[in-house]
């Protein structure tokens, strides 16, 4: 029986080496546990805390993660990677070398007869027009081209600094009942979607909205949570 898994927000590279090694161990153990029963794996953004990919250079320190992903692909598992706000500068390495299906924008799909909408969740906080403008700049092809001329050592240092600033900024956003993510989920469910799945918030949530369900996947920094779809039913679990 095939199952579809969803996860987000591991932010690999965020903390000191020992902390990141332990976090990566947990993540790799999770992937190893699903390798014989997963049909698809959806990673909904921020797998890395700061990923800037140059034409011939990628950030070091993630060899085990990339190797594990390639192993899952070799087993026939389809892996979808939706760019988050911390790993939005993707080129072709993950697709050409690892075999991931890359999505630069939110997208929808049908699985087990269920209509599902997938979004990292960034830019949906209420009154967050500043970030939405910044997002357009960061993903602008011209801006990326200019930044590609910055030496990788400098570029990655700037990316990590920007990542920490972004996290502090996001932490100040309101994520209560009137949060824009829940509002967005309500609208999509009103359009006929059965499940709205997001990350970004770092807090696992399952909310029933009329005839649909909004799921926030939490993170792999504190909660180690993921969702699994089986026979049309979506459940949020914690990796033990």
Range of lowest pLDDT (11-20, 56-65, 91-100, 136-145)? 136-145
Q: Per residue in 103-153, pLDDT tens? A: 999 999 999 999 999 999 988 876 655 555 555 656 666 766 666 666 666
**What phi and psi values does residue 237 have, to the nearest 5 degrees?**
-125, 165
Mean pLDDT of the chain: 85
At 141 the pLDDT is: 67
Q: Per residue in 70-106, pLDDT tens? A: 999 999 999 999 998 878 678 899 999 999 999 999 9
Q: Is the pLDDT of residue 162 over 70?
A: no
At 124 the pLDDT is: 85
Q: What is the DSSP string of 54-102?
A: -SS---SS-HHHHHHHHHHHHTT-EEEEE--SSS-B--SHIIIII--EE
At 47 the pLDDT is: 95
Annotation: CATH topology of 3-238: Purple Acid Phosphatase; chain A, domain 2 (3.60.21)
Q: Is the pLDDT of residue 165 over 80?
A: no
- Give CB contacts under 8 A, 24+ apart, made by 97-102: 97/70, 98/66, 98/69, 98/70, 98/73, 99/70, 99/73, 100/69, 100/73
Tell me the domain boundaries of the chain. Answer: 3-238
At 66 the pLDDT is: 96
Q: What residues have CB less than 8 Å from 34, skipping those under 6 apart?
A: 3, 5, 41
Closest to 193 measured CA to CA, from 201, 202, 184? 184
- CA–CA dist 217, 181 (Å, integer): 13
Range of lowest pLDDT (29-43, 118-132, 162-176)? 162-176
Closest to 138 measured CA to CA, from 80, 51, 56? 51
């Amino acid at each position: 029986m095939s199952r579809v898994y969803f996860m987000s927000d591991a932010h690999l590279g965020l903390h000191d080496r020992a902390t990141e090694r332990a976090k990566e161990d947990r993540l790799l153990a999770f992937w190893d546990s699903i390798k014989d029963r997963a049909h698809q794996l959806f990673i909904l953004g921020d797998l890395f805390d700061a990923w800037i990919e140059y034409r011939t250079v990628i950030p070091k320190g993630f060899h085990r993660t990339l190797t594990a992903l390639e192993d899952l692909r070799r087993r026939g598992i389809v892996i979808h990677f939706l760019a988050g706000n911390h790993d939005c500068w993707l080129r072709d390495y993950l697709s050409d070398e690892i075999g991931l299906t890359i999505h630069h924008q939110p997208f929808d799909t049908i699985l087990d007869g269920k209509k599902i909408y997938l979004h990292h969740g960034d830019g949906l906080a209420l009154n967050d027009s500043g970030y939405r403008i910044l997002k357009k700049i960061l993903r602008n092809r011209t801006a990326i081209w200019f930044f590609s001329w910055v030496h990788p050592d400098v570029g990655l240092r700037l990316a990590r600094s920007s990542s920490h600033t972004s996290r502090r900024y996001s932490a100040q956003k309101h994520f209560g009942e009137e949060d824009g993510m829940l509002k967005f989920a309500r609208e999509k469910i009103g359009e006929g979607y059965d499940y709205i799945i997001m990350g970004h918030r770092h807090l696992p949530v399952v909310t029933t909205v009329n005839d649909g369900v909004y799921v926030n996947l939490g993170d792999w920094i504190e909660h180690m949570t993921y969702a699994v779809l089986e026979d049309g039913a979506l459940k949020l679990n914690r990796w033990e």
